[in-house]
Homo-oligomer: A and B are copies of this chain.
Amino acid sequence: MRTPICERLGIELPLFAFSHCRDVVAAVTNAGGFGVLGAVAYSPERLDTELSWLDERVGGRPYGVDVLVPGKVDPSAHDRGVHLMDAVPDRHRDFVTHLLAKYGVSATGRPLTAVADEFGRRVTAAGATSLIDVALRHRIGLIASALGPPPPEMVAKAREAGVPVAALVGTVEHARRQVAAGADIVVAQGGEAGGHTGEVSTMVLVPQVVDAIAPVPVLAAGGIASGRQMAAAMALGAEGVWCGSVWLTTEEAETPPAVMRKLLAASSLDTVRSRSRTGKPARQLRSAWTEEWDYGQESPGPLGMPLQMLVAEGAMARIAAAAEKGDAGAVELVNYFVGQVVGQLDRVRPAREVVYDMVSEFGDAVERLRRLSE
């Protein structure tokens, strides 16, 4: 299944693994795929440490780094004269306090205000660019930007270093805009994907993006966690696939046990696109958190990005800790970003095995199609 993108990046399999866990990135890269480390809200120092760790383990094989570059953020994120947490309205703070109390989650622990400014400002173009500077000092083979078009400075730096830039899109219009902004590779991500996502499905989106920006290579994302789905994505015209959810239930993932149990039990009906964690629509497990924010009578409605991230991540850190202790209310609230493929994920496997199974099933699917068309 070598496609031109394999030649370009020097890899065996056009199977891209997005993960926040360096162990997953290393395992997939070493199995012949291409691991991409999600570095959202990392400090530059932390990113440097993680990439040095990776450099030591992948034997010179290329891997990538993904940063979040929102097209639009709440203006307060750019105003260094205010503390970001001060921009969060009282009724949003009060709603979180009410939620934690309702579900019996203790509100003790370090207040987030101290780190909020740094955290919130990382999800801006300036924040992303400082991560790029670090990344380019390592042997990375790809920089990916989620959400908005890559900032010109990021493209210029990547070009100078000879590193291709990939951009995630959910519409044809965004694909055109990303290519105009300098993206070398476009990841067309259907609405069934986990995390920030649009509404058009992979089946519909991928061929339209392929046709709109040819000959720029397109990777398909959303709904892909098996070899049949990989074959389908490539039948649509993609040069490879970009998978995220499937790695959450691998042995290498640092998925907390309470979340892992929810992922393994969930059906494909158990996800929802909600703005309740980041301020932008992101697919995640449906939980008391999403239900209360999206449908609760007392919900003030989510804020924009990054303010809602600050509100949500502060609370979710406490919720996750309580869920690990088995507190029933916290288990109801806890969730995680994941796509509709969560319904296929019913056991924990090594990441390498996931890669090999996908390749094997891909071959079977192609062989079946070939026989049908004889």
Contacts and interface: CB of A to CB of B under 8 A. Distances in A.
A362 B341 CA distance: 25
Contacts of A340: 200-201, 204
A232 B229 CA distance: 8
Interface string A1-35: 11100000000000000000000000000000000
A29 B277 CA distance: 50
Contacts of A244: none
B207 A2 contact: no
Interface string A341-374: 1011000000000000000001101111110110
Contacts of A232: 203, 231-233, 235-236
Interface of A: 1-3, 171-172, 190-192, 198-205, 207-208, 222-224, 226, 228-229, 231-237, 267-269, 339-341, 343-344, 362-363, 365-370, 372-373
Contact of A204 (B192, B234, B369, B370): B192
B172 A343 contact: yes
Query: Copies per complex?
Result: 2
23 contacts: A3-B372, A172-B343, A200-B268, A200-B340, A201-B222, A203-B224, A203-B232, A203-B233, A204-B223, A204-B229, A204-B343, A207-B344, A208-B344, A229-B236, A232-B235, A232-B236, A234-B372, A235-B365, A363-B373, A366-B369, A367-B373, A369-B369, A370-B370
Interface majority SS on A: helix, strand, loop or mixed? helix
